[in-house]
Homo-oligomer: A and B are copies of this chain.
Amino acid sequence: MYRTNTCGELRLADAGKEVTLSGWVQRVRKMGGMTFLDLRDRYGITQIVFNNDTDAALCEQANHLGREFVVQVTGLVAERTAKNPNLLTGDVEIIANSLKVLNASEVPPFTIEDESDGGDDLRMKYRYLDLRRNPVRRNLELRHRMTMEVRRYLDSKGFLEIETPMLVGSTPEGARDFVVPSRMNPGCFYALPQSPQTLKQLLMVSGMDRYFQIVKCFRDEDLRADRQPEFTQIDCEMSFVEQEDVISLFEGMAKHLFKELRGVELDGPFVRMPWSDAMKYYGSDKPDLRFEMKFVELMDILKGYGFAVFDNAAYIGGICAKGAANYTRKQLDQLTDFVKRPQIGAKGMVYARVEADGSVKSSVDKFYSQETLQKMKEAFGAEPGDLILILSGDDAMKTRKQLCELRLEMGNRLGLRDKNKFACLWVVDFPMFEWSEEEQRLMAMHHPFTHPKDEDIPMLDTDPASVRADAYDMVVNGVEVGGGSIRIHDSELQAKMFEILGFTPEKAQEQFGFLMNAFKYGAPPHGGLAYGLDRWVSLFAGLDSIRDCIAFPKNNSGRDVMLEAPAPLDQKQLDELQLELAPVEEKKS
């Protein structure tokens, strides 16, 4: 037996007991004739005392322990004279009578403390040491608690967790698949699922009624800062439901999770915002509603006064930053530089201050009368002390997105994006399609199985670009944590959808024949939703990146630097798969 207790559980009531603890050496200090050892495990830290007067040999042994040695200690629990109120075990210490080194440790490449001196690369290479740090470990504990709560909640609502296969067929529509060559079927490949979308729809056809799965999904995409090639979804689907049923159930789950995991009670129903409003007022389909600062369109007010930039613009709009009129010229220049960064791409920024006397002082005063500026002030409901920031451009949607970035930046600067405050909403009524410049055709905004709004179905023939979908996203603090839709359950409507998306009937049959066939045998109306677990955990944990809520994440090149994967294969393995490498350089020569 290695231990009677963990390093986190002894209290004053245990004083007098003989205990055995095992754990890692956090710290060893000599003070007077005593040696103090902080012994650490997942559950906490317990202080161990070695007395040079009582047992000099044992004390000497303790003095030679290095950081991160694994040791086993037996001793008596005693009340501390100097208690440590910061530790749950801080009322007691263990008077050691034996000490055994279970394993030595080399000096770790970075400190195992809440604030480590290890850089990102080092921490990832030695991730097993990084995970010993409290903040990282706590993220994984939170992730565990979250999935437990999700399962409890969905189980209580009659959902069945059903595993769908990981080795499926490749569907070139959408993002790129990771593929898996089949040795038993040479020349053939499985694909790893980007989501279990079609399989969960089949489960609805099979009458499973309420399905969920916490499941790994895969996308072979170029990785942006906060994407991983493998990620985890809370994937759900329900039969005999309308949008309202799905939204209300999953809003209930969100409230449950906020309460259980963060102790936050979210009152009242979440805001429902049509996608068109989200774009109009926030320039984003995932607006951060922790703060207001809504867009105000200024085309009517500011056009036609000789300021060419505005006169030629397809969109002029601004935001009002409460109390920021005291921004210095330097701060305003920083903001201008911010919006002109290539990632954002605005041409410039106009600003206007509301002075203490109510008058408006702007960077374009020479074009506008005070009367016009006052009209603008009223449009914002701006007050003395407020700062108005205006962008314009020849593409309304692009300019709105630039203004969105500016709004978020001002939110940051004004401290309006508190990580401990949560603003949840549903964005609804998404467009069914979006135009792809690259492909020169309409693409499904969510996916080809999304049900159009009943009242918009006639427009599928006449004006598909205007058709809205029964699709909804849950957004928290500007992060899309989940989304879903009511699905098509009619094989004819599904065929029409593939047609609009440019599939020939043969291609549609080849790729999704199994689903369209299934729909011929009594598919129920159904819909669902998928949450991104990684994003949601990092939101709860207050992290900026999803990486630190994943035990073994990959870097931006899709590499696991600890495992050194991916790596070249043995020739034998390639031969068995009947594959050859065909490097592009070689092909060209």
- Asked if A338 CB lies within 8 Å of chain B CBs, one says no
A302 and B180 CA atoms in complex are apart in Å by 57
B162 touches A144 (CB 8 A): yes
- Asked if A160 CB lies within 8 Å of chain B CBs, one says yes
B521 touches A106 (CB 8 A): yes
Within 8 A of B (CB), among A171-194: 172, 176-192
Within 8 A of B (CB), among A129-152: 129-132, 137, 140-141, 143-144, 147-148, 151
B104 touches A168 (CB 8 A): no
A188 and B566 CA atoms in complex are apart in Å by 5
A3 and B167 CA atoms in complex are apart in Å by 36
Contact of A161 among B105, B147, B162, B209 (CB under 8 A): B147
Given the complex, which residues of B lie within 8 Å of A1, measured CB to CB? Answer: 242, 245
Given the complex, which residues of B lie within 8 Å of A181, measured CB to CB? Answer: 179, 181
Interface SS majority for chain A? loop
- Asked if A334 CB lies within 8 Å of chain B CBs, one says no
Nearest neighbor of A199 in chain B, beta-carbon distance: B552
A581 and B183 CA atoms in complex are apart in Å by 12
B514 touches A563 (CB 8 A): yes
- Asked if A520 CB lies within 8 Å of chain B CBs, one says yes
- Asked if A580 CB lies within 8 Å of chain B CBs, one says yes
B578 touches A583 (CB 8 A): yes
A102 touches B566 (CB 8 A): no
A559 touches B185 (CB 8 A): yes
Contact of A179 among B180, B229, B525 (CB under 8 A): B180
A581 touches B579 (CB 8 A): yes
- Asked if A206 CB lies within 8 Å of chain B CBs, one says yes
Contact of A522 among B24, B218, B518 (CB under 8 A): B24
Given the complex, which residues of B lie within 8 Å of A188, measured CB to CB? Answer: 566-568
Nearest neighbor of A490 in chain B, beta-carbon distance: B103
Within 8 A of B (CB), among A510-540: 514, 518-525
- Asked if A220 CB lies within 8 Å of chain B CBs, one says yes
Nearest neighbor of A185 in chain B, beta-carbon distance: B566
Nearest neighbor of A130 in chain B, beta-carbon distance: B206
Contact of A176 among B6, B558, B576 (CB under 8 A): B576
A146 and B5 CA atoms in complex are apart in Å by 30
- Asked if A428 CB lies within 8 Å of chain B CBs, one says no
Shortest beta-carbon distance, A321 to chain B, in Å? 41
A129 touches B521 (CB 8 A): yes
- Asked if A225 CB lies within 8 Å of chain B CBs, one says no
Contact of A166 among B151, B160, B218 (CB under 8 A): B218
- Asked if A327 CB lies within 8 Å of chain B CBs, one says no
Given the complex, which residues of B lie within 8 Å of A170, measured CB to CB? Answer: 565, 567, 569, 573
A165 touches B230 (CB 8 A): yes
- Asked if A292 CB lies within 8 Å of chain B CBs, one says no
- Asked if A69 CB lies within 8 Å of chain B CBs, one says yes
A43 and B160 CA atoms in complex are apart in Å by 12
A200 and B143 CA atoms in complex are apart in Å by 17
Shortest beta-carbon distance, A336 to chain B, in Å? 36
A217 and B97 CA atoms in complex are apart in Å by 46
Could you say which of A105, A144, A177 has the most chain B C-beta atoms within 10 Å of its C-beta?
Answer: A144
A40 and B524 CA atoms in complex are apart in Å by 12
Using known A-B contacts A208-B42, A218-B166, determine if residue A103 contacts B522 with beta carbons closer than 8 Å: yes
- Asked if A85 CB lies within 8 Å of chain B CBs, one says no
Shortest beta-carbon distance, A229 to chain B, in Å? 6
Given the complex, which residues of B lie within 8 Å of A567, measured CB to CB? Answer: 169-170, 188-189
Pairs of residues from A and B, 10 with the lowest C-beta to C-beta distance, nearest first: A131-B206, A105-B522, A169-B565, A188-B566, A2-B240, A68-B522, A182-B566, A580-B582, A42-B209, A128-B206
Apart from A105-B522, A166-B216, 14 more pairs, CB < 8 Å: A69-B522, A70-B525, A127-B202, A128-B521, A137-B208, A164-B551, A165-B230, A169-B565, A172-B573, A179-B181, A189-B566, A189-B567, A190-B565, A580-B580
